[in-house]
């Protein structure tokens, strides 16, 4: 079972290239959804244990970021080329990054390559793999934050564009929705939960992450929310403490921030501290994803088998590969003419003329 997540991750990479959202094969995956400044970046960096995501005002994540985390034991690292954590991008397969500041710069550069620097967005994903001894095997898709007002050269309908992009991912019934919501805002106004409810009205595949627990109004707490007494989310509600901007400016490590989070939870929420926090969230997601993959595996296998059969039938209809183009060109022309006439008079039983036309164009 330990190979389930890496196997699905490889399939995700393939479908990300060919267009997974239009594919008949819908894969189990975790989709991170939240408004701007909800704390998505801090949650993901806490899970990874590294500071590597772009930050700033407005929409910072402007392309889907597909993150594959691979648990790599320390003894395996010592036998390999790197003794520390490292990262690789799909678009730079021969380059390894050990400096995670460079990972951030590469994400920004690759984003700008398609979208420019005017804050536009694109649905073409960036694929990133991170290898570390401190992570659990996990795959996450980080999407642009939900926004209301266009910035810079963004189109006036940017809200609708982002919303449609998010829906195209979370509409997949095999996906797990990680709805990131700040604790210092009314949960009833959560944009992430609102979108999740549209495609998952019963909350069966939604997990809520309540961020910024330490920024709630003095004299209030989120105990009832975290215990599920305010809103019903079947996969649960997990509270976390984000890295403050002051911590980032002071170059405070993610590890130290996680220790501060533990101390805060034990002090303010002692009865439920063990079932909250970033580290608990990472383990919970790992277990949820494995369980979800196991449940959907029979149907996934069936759909992949059917898709392979359809492609195989189409290939057989097209015919065997053309090796000697000069000798077979006349045969293709004849076949095209026959099929075209048959298509017109309605007696066609073979391949459509349009497919033969594609073959001729390649010749």
Nearest to 66 by CA among 99, 3, 96, 21: 21
Enter the tokens of residue 270.
């002692």
Q: What distances in angstroms separate CA 110 from CA 130, 245, 255, one per listed residue?
A: 17, 25, 28
179: nearest Cα among 164, 159, 153, 198: 198
Calculate mean pLDDT across residues 232-257: 87
Per-residue pLDDT band for 119 (boundaries 50, 70, 90) equals low
Residue of 119, 152, 132 whose CA lies nearest to 48: 132
Section 62-83 average pLDDT: 75
Give 269-291 pLDDT, tens digit per residue: 999 999 999 999 999 999 988 88
**Which residues are CB-neighbours of 245 under 8 A, at least 6 positions away?**
none
Task: Using alpha carbons, list the distances in angstroms from residue 150 to 53, 153, 154, 313, 315.
Answer: 22, 8, 5, 47, 46
- The distance from CA 323 to its chain's CA centroid, rounded to whole angstroms, is 41
pLDDT in tens, 306-343: 878 887 887 777 666 666 656 556 666 666 677 666 66
Euclidean distance between CA atoms 155 and 357, whole angstroms: 39
Give the pLDDT score at 44: 94
CA distance 243 to 109: 24
Q: How far apart are CA 238 and CA 89, in angstroms?
A: 30
246 or 34, greater pLDDT: 34
For residue 69, with 0-12 CB atoms within 10 Å meaning exposed, 13-18 middle and 19 or more buried, which class applies? buried
**DSSP for residue 44:** H
Q: What is the mean pLDDT of residues 77-106?
A: 83
Q: What is the mean pLDDT of the chain?
A: 82
| CA-CA-CA-CA dihedral for 98, 111, 154, 194, to nearest 10 | -70
């Amino acid at each position: 079972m330990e190979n389930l997540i890496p196997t699905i991750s490889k399939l995700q990479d393939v479908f990300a290239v060919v267009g997974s959202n239009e594919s008949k094969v819908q894969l189990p995956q975790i989709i991170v959804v939240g408004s701007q400044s909800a704390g998505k970046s801090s949650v993901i960096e806490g899970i990874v244990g590294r500071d590597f995501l772009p930050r700033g005002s407005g929409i910072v994540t402007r392309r889907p970021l597909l993150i594959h985390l691979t648990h790599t034991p320390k003894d395996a690292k010592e036998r390999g080329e790197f003794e520390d954590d490292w990262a690789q991008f799909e678009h730079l397969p021969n380059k390894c990054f050990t400096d995670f500041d460079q990972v951030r710069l590469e994400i920004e550069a690759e984003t700008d390559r398609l979208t420019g620097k005017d804050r536009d967005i694109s649905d073409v994903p960036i694929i990133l793999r991170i290898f570390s001894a401190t992570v659990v095997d996990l795959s996450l898709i980080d999407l642009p934050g939900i926004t209301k007002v266009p910035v810079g050269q963004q189109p006036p309908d940017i809200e609708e564009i982002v919303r449609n992009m998010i829906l195209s991912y979370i509409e997949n019934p095999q996906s797990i929705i990680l709805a990131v919501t700040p604790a210092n805002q009314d949960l009833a106004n959560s944009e992430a939960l609102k979108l999740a409810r549209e495609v998952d009205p019963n909350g069966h595949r939604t997990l809520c992450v309540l961020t910024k627990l330490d920024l709630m109004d003095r004299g209030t707490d989120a105990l009832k929310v975290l215990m599920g007494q305010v809103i019903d989310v079947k996969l649960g509600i997990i509270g976390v403490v984000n890295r403050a901007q002051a911590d980032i400016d002071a170059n405070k490590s993610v590890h130290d921030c996680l220790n501060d989070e533990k101390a805060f939870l034990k002090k303010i929420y002692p009865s439920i501290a063990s079932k909250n926090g970033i580290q608990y969230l990472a383990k919970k997601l790992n277990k949820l994803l494995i369980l979800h993959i196991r449940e959907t595996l029979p149907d996934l296998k069936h759909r992949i088998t059917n898709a392979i059969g359809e492609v195989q039938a189409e290939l057989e209809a097209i015919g065997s590969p053309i090796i000697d183009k000069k000798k077979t060109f006349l045969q293709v022309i004849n076949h095209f003419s026959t099929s075209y006439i048959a298509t017109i008079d309605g007696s066609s039983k073979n391949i459509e003329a349009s497919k033969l036309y594609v073959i001729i164009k390649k010749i």
